[in-house]
Chains A and B, each alone.
Chain A
């Protein structure tokens, strides 16, 4: 006897609850946009440009004291940030001016140790430098990569499902924008560094999410040719229920792997694993509660017969 997680005759009213989830998602997306424009991502040096120097002190100190110690180096606008737990006494010094950048780590260590005159020894743990122009270009390219991936997937789905309705493309695009915003919000709240690896994970989320949307949309297309007299809302709800087992199994197995990566994968993989973990959850959710409702809003609940006959 096989183990069935989801009974074959399951009939959850997903479509009926769409208003609640659309409002919930809209609120989350508004929160994400507000956070994006206020707090923003914790950009890695790849995207931010300039230099970042990580200092470790023997005893606690303050950002102001560090700034004063570095004043003689003419680094331009310097920001100093506490980094890590309080007992670690680590600080991140960021500055954009990279004139005479050579040996900046040695010079900073020298200047700080001279200013503290041996009372609090500092050690440079990390120096990273990316030109401001390169950082800006990478940020623009990253944004364009996400935007074009979303747009072209929407166009692709619109073409593939044109027989049922062109609105499937719009539904997919809105679901993808929703996923990107939710993952962005999670990254902003968690303060994981947004670097090139995280961007690659975000693009992967887009790929996964659209894959899930296609499965549901494909079943809707299939059912709409067989059940022409039923409303598109009924067909959509039954398509979601019919594909629920597959959705839970594929997302569940992917999440199991990502949970392992998140916990055991170590620091290198953690931000990317976190991005994918949140992205797969939201991608699965949006395939059910965002892509479908957009089609319903677009088409209206009663238009299924006409759409179905076009498909036939």
Chain B
């Protein structure tokens, strides 16, 4: 599944780059931001704490929830993901939990 994001840098796609994993009560999604013309791609992780509502949903549904939020914070997410891979040689990980729920609504 791919979600189309309209950004200041053109059209990007948000796609799942690897099957979701469960770890320490969190679901970890490996996502990729791909420019529509294919000249750029960057992979990053998203750790979603199980205490968040809808955190256990299917990856596709979570992707739909994350899409507009990633589109809004696109520049920061892209920059952090690129720099982490370039200099730390690992995937940037966004952590969503009750303190920082991102697009998930906390009751």
Using CB atoms and an 8 Å cutoff, list the residues of chain A in contact with chain B. 44, 51, 54, 83-85, 88, 90, 98, 101-106, 123-129, 192-193, 266-268, 270-271
Contacts and interface: CB of A to CB of B under 8 A. Distances in A.
Contact of B82 (A124, A128, A270, A271): A128
Q: Tell me the dominant secondary structure on chain A's binding face.
A: mixed
B18 A126 contact: no
A105 B43 CA distance: 12
Interface of B: 17-18, 34, 37-43, 79-80, 82-91
A85 to B, nearest CB: 7
Nearest to B76: A268
B38 A105 contact: yes
Contact of B87 (A98, A101, A104, A270): A270
A268 B89 contact: no
- Greatest chain A CB density within 10 A among B40, B86, B89 is at B86
Nearest to A127: B41
Contacts of B40: 127-129
Given A268-B80, A268-B83, A102 B39 contact: yes
B39 A268 contact: no
Q: Tell me the dominant secondary structure on chain B's binding face.
A: mixed
A44 B85 CA distance: 12
B39 A127 contact: yes
Contacts of B37: 101-102
Given A83-B89, A124-B43, A106 B18 contact: no
Contacts of B89: 83-85, 88, 90
Given A123-B18, A268-B79, A105 B41 contact: yes
B18 to A, nearest CB: 7
A83 B90 CA distance: 10
Contacts of B85: 54, 125-126
Given A84-B89, A85-B89, A268-B79, A101 B38 contact: yes
Contact of A267 (B17, B38, B41, B84): B84
A123 B82 CA distance: 15
A123 to B, nearest CB: 7
A214 to B, nearest CB: 34
27 contacts: A51-B39, A54-B85, A83-B89, A84-B90, A85-B89, A101-B37, A101-B38, A102-B37, A104-B38, A105-B41, A123-B17, A124-B41, A125-B91, A126-B41, A126-B43, A126-B82, A126-B85, A127-B40, A127-B41, A128-B82, A129-B40, A192-B87, A193-B86, A193-B87, A267-B84, A267-B88, A268-B79
Contacts of B34: 105
A270 B83 CA distance: 10
A267 B91 CA distance: 11
- Greatest chain B CB density within 10 A among A51, A83, A126, A128 is at A126
